[in-house]
């Protein structure tokens, strides 16, 4: 979202000038201050080419001490087929996200890439979110609560607090990532953080500015 769009949206919502300025400030600072350290944001084109969740899981597996450069092992630990692994490997290598540097060493060239859904084609967003939903549902059903945390809450909110909330989410995500990446990794997890409206009220209030996003 551009700074100009944020301003237009804020005015359409009749938000106080100070609140709009906080939104703008938040957006202006995001690339430097809020993105996780050492993280890169993959472009929409790249993400559109790797719609399934397990591509990133494969990259993350390469960081584990017990990683085996073996499609059969990857398929087993991710509970997907060997063919799915091999198709994913092709994509990752073609996109320069994975390098089979030696027979026993595969390198995650993506680094700690952060996935931003902005600028993705709608069908890619649908596919990614559907994949995440399936993973989440599967974890909720089959993974003991000792190994996961899954909560959801629906609440009435004061929208003027959203900029601050987004900031808190960003910092929380960073702290969580830092904590979980301390020491030697021995498993791969997915962190899903979502805060979004469940009503159409903002669309009704903002009219044209909403469609311009």
Partner 1 sequence: MGCAVVQWQMVVKDPEAQTHFYSSLFDWRVNSDNPLGYRVVDTGTAEGIPGGVWPAPPEGHNLVQLFIRVDSVADYVTKAERLGARTIIGPQTLPEGDMLAILQDPQGLSFGLVGR
Residues that bind partner 1 in the complex, under the rule CB under 8 A? 68-72, 75, 82-83, 85-87, 90-91, 93-94, 99-104
Residue 149: how many CA atoms within 13 Å on its side-chain side?
4
Q: Which CB atom, from 124 or from 159, has the smaller least distance to partner 1?
A: 124
DSSP-derived secondary structure for 26-77: HHHHIIIIISPTT--B--HHHHHH--STHHHHHHHHTTSTT--S-HHHHHHH
Q: Which CB atom, from 47 or from 85, has the smaller least distance to partner 1?
A: 85
Of 58, 2, 36, 6, nearest to 180 (Cα)? 36
Distances (CA, A) of 12 to 72, 153, 164, 208: 54, 28, 20, 9
Shortest separation between residue 100's beta carbon and partner 1, angstroms: 4
Q: Which CB atom, from 104 or from 207, has the smaller least distance to partner 1?
A: 104
Distance CA(166)–CA(161), nearest Å, equals 9
Q: Which CB atom, from 14 or from 103, has the smaller least distance to partner 1?
A: 103
Shortest separation between residue 89's beta carbon and partner 1, angstroms: 8
Beta bridge partners of 108: 98
Q: Which CB atom, from 12 or from 93, has the smaller least distance to partner 1?
A: 93
Shortest separation between residue 190's beta carbon and partner 1, angstroms: 23
Burial of 210 (0-12, 13-18, 19+ CB in 10 A): middle
Shortest separation between residue 32's beta carbon and partner 1, angstroms: 33
Q: Which CB atom, from 71 or from 132, has the smaller least distance to partner 1?
A: 71
Vertex 155: Cα angle to 126 and 8 (nearest 5)? 65
Distance of CA 37 to the CA centre of its chain: 15
Shortest separation between residue 27's beta carbon and partner 1, angstroms: 34
Shortest separation between residue 123's beta carbon and partner 1, angstroms: 12
The position carrying tokens 């979202």 is: 1
């Amino acid at each position: 979202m551009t700074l100009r769009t944020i301003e237009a949206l804020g005015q359409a919502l009749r938000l106080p000038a100070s609140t709009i300025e906080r939104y703008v400030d938040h957006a202006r600072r995001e690339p430097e201050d809020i993105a996780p350290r050492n993280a890169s944001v993959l472009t929409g084109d790249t993400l559109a080419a790797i719609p399934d969740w397990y591509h990133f899981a494969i990259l993350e597996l390469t960081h584990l001490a017990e990683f085996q450069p073996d499609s059969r092992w990857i398929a087993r630990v991710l509970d997907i087929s060997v063919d799915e692994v091999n198709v994913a490997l092709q994509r990752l290598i073609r996109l320069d996200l994975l390098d089979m540097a030696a027979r026993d060493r595969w390198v995650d060239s993506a680094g700690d890439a952060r996935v931003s859904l902005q600028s993705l084609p709608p069908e890619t967003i649908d596919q990614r979110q559907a994949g995440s939903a399936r993973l989440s549902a599967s974890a909720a059903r089959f993974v003991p609560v000792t190994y996961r945390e899954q909560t959801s809450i629906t609440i009435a909110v004061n929208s003027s607090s959203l900029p601050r909330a987004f900031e808190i989410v960003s910092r929380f995500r960073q702290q969580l990532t830092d904590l979980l990446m301390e020491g030697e990794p021995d498993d791969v997890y997915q962190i899903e953080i979502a805060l979004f409206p469940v009503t159409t009220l903002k669309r009704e209030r903002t009219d044209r500015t909403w469609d311009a996003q």
